[in-house]
Amino acid sequence: MHISDGVLPISVTVGSYVASAAIAAWSVRRTRSEELPKLAVMTAAFFVASMVHVPLGPTSVHLIIPGLTGALLGPSAFLSIGLGLLLQSLLFQFGGLTALGANALMMGLPALACGWFFQKYKGRTQLQQVVVGGLAGALGTVLAANILAILLMSGGEDFFGVAKIALLAHVPVVIIESVVSAFTIGFLARVKPALLQSSFLRPTKAAHG
Amino acid sequence: MMIIHRGILVGVLCLFLAGLPGSLLAQTPPEESTHEIVALLKEQNSKLSNDLRRIQREIAALRADLDKPGIKDVFAGIGYIFGLFGAAAFVAARRKE
Q: What value of ipTM does the predicted structure carry?
A: 0.80
Q: Is residue A201 assigned to a domain?
A: no
**Measured in Å, how far apart are chain B's first and last C-alpha atoms?**
127
Q: Is residue A135 assigned to a domain?
A: yes
Task: Give the range with max mean pLDDT: A122-131, B19-28, B44-53.
Answer: B44-53
Q: Is residue A42 assigned to a domain?
A: yes
A20-36 pLDDT, tens per residue? 999 999 999 988 888 89
Domain count, chain A: 1
Q: Is residue A5 assigned to a domain?
A: no
In this predicted structure, the answer to whether residue B20 has a pLDDT above a threshold of 90 is no
Chain A residue numbers with beta carbons less than 8 Å from the beta carbon of B92 are: 33, 36, 208-209
Q: Is residue A4 assigned to a domain?
A: no
Using an 8 Å Cβ cutoff, are A170 and A137 in contact? no
| H-state helical runs in chain A | 10-30, 36-49, 66-73, 77-87, 100-121, 126-153, 159-169, 171-191
Q: Is residue A203 assigned to a domain?
A: no
Domain that holds residue A171: 10-196
Q: Please state, in angstroms and rounded to a whole number, the distance separating the CA atoms of residues A75 and A3.
A: 23
Whether residues B93 and A33 touch (CB distance < 8 A) is answered with yes
Chain B residue numbers with beta carbons less than 8 Å from the beta carbon of A87 are: 77, 80-81
Q: Is residue A204 assigned to a domain?
A: no
In this predicted structure, the answer to whether residue B8 has a pLDDT above a threshold of 60 is yes
State the CB neighbour count (10 A cutoff) for residue A175. Answer: 15
B residues 64-93 closer than 8 Å to A (CB): 67, 69, 73-74, 76-78, 80-82, 84-86, 88-89, 92-93
Kindly report the nearest CA distance between residue B50 and chain A, in angstroms: 23
Among the partner residues B81, B86, B93, nearest to A87 by beta-carbon distance? B81
Cβ burial of A90 (10 Å; 0-12, 13-18, 19+) is middle
Q: Is residue A3 assigned to a domain?
A: no
CATH of the domain at A166: 1.10.1760.20
